[in-house]
């Protein structure tokens, strides 16, 4: 079985390395070695660094770093890129540039580290309208339930992957949102997967085509996430969709 990790954060320099306790991940060779040791064959995601929202060149440097890593690790890594509502023209130009390069993944977008908040904000309308027209997929860090609901409704043809199942009522709302919106999906990275049976429960609610494997490495332990999925009582077909097919359809083969 092939495992595609739909949610990681690669880096070129240590200021871009995420993870409070992952100082041992000193470069991309260690990054790749860790994921492959967990059984992961391919990964997708954006380069992240703190951004105050004032200088577009800082954000574009993260995108360029992702492209360089893609060129270096193409058999292993698919890039995600950043946009920002403070830079509408620049963001739209970036979407055009990435579309021509064959990159279809925006994000993970992490507003709290990029000095903005709402995905449904008026300032981002032109950006996400173009993203929808170009057939992009956007991976978003959870904002408020109201904002995510409005975001999914405003762009019904935009494929939206919400990161992190979370737990309890938050997980239930994630699943309910998927049921309400055909364009919304969920990746398994971050909090939630440690609850035994939650994946089986989610698949029973929303189906095998709506949930993607992800780890948020190097923030989270990739081996723990792989084993958590494998330990659930899933059919071979369900495992294939969660671990590989959904990421191929939404990210790699658009």
- Tally of domains within the chain: 1
Per residue of the chain (254 residues), what is the pLDDT tens digit?
899 999 999 999 988 899 989 999 999 999 999 999 999 999 999 999 999 999 999 999 999 999 999 999 999 999 999 999 999 999 999 999 999 999 999 999 999 999 999 999 999 999 999 999 999 999 999 999 999 999 999 999 999 999 999 999 999 999 999 999 999 999 999 988 999 999 999 999 999 999 999 999 999 999 999 999 999 999 999 999 999 999 999 999 99
Contact (CB, 8 A) for 244 and 1: yes
Q: Among residues 80, 87, 129, which one has the least CA distance to residue 108?
A: 80
Q: Phi/psi at 25 (nearest 5 deg)?
A: -85, 85
Tokens of 213: 């494997």
Here the CATH number for the domain that contains residue 181 is: 3.20.20.140
Kindly report the number of other CB atoms within 10 A of residue 61's CB atom.
Answer: 17
CB crowding 138-168: b at 16 or more within 10 Å, else e? bbbbbbeeebbbbbbeebeebbbbbbbbbee
What is the domain extent for residue 82?
A: 4-252
């Amino acid at each position: 079985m092939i495992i595609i990790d739909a949610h990681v954060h690669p880096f070129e320099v240590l200021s871009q390395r995420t993870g409070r306790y992952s100082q041992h991940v000193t470069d991309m060779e260690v990054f790749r070695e860790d994921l492959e040791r967990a059984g992961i064959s391919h990964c997708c995601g954006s380069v992240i660094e703190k951004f105050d929202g004032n200088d577009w060149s800082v954000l574009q440097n993260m995108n360029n770093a992702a492209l360089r890593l893609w060129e270096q690790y193409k058999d292993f890594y698919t890039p995600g890129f950043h946009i920002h509502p403070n830079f509408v023209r620049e963001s739209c130009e970036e979407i055009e540039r990435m579309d021509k390069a064959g990159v279809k993944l925006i994000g993970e977008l992490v507003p709290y580290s990029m000095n903005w908040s709402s995905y449904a904000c008026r300032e981002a309308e032109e950006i996400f309208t173009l993203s929808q027209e170009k057939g992009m997929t956007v991976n978003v860090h959870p904002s408020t339930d109201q904002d995510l609901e409005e975001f999914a409704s405003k762009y019904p043809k935009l494929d939206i992957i919400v990161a992190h199942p979370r737990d309890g009522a938050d997980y239930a709302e994630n699943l309910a949102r998927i049921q309400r919106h055909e364009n919304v999906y969920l990746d398994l990275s971050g909090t939630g997967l440690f609850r035994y049976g939650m994946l089986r429960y989610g698949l029973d609610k929303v189906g095998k085509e709506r949930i993607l494997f992800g780890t948020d490495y190097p923030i989270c332990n990739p081996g723990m996430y792989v084993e958590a999925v494998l330990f659930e009582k899933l059919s071979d077909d369900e495992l294939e969709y969660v671990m590989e097919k959904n990421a191929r359809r939404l990210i790699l083969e658009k």
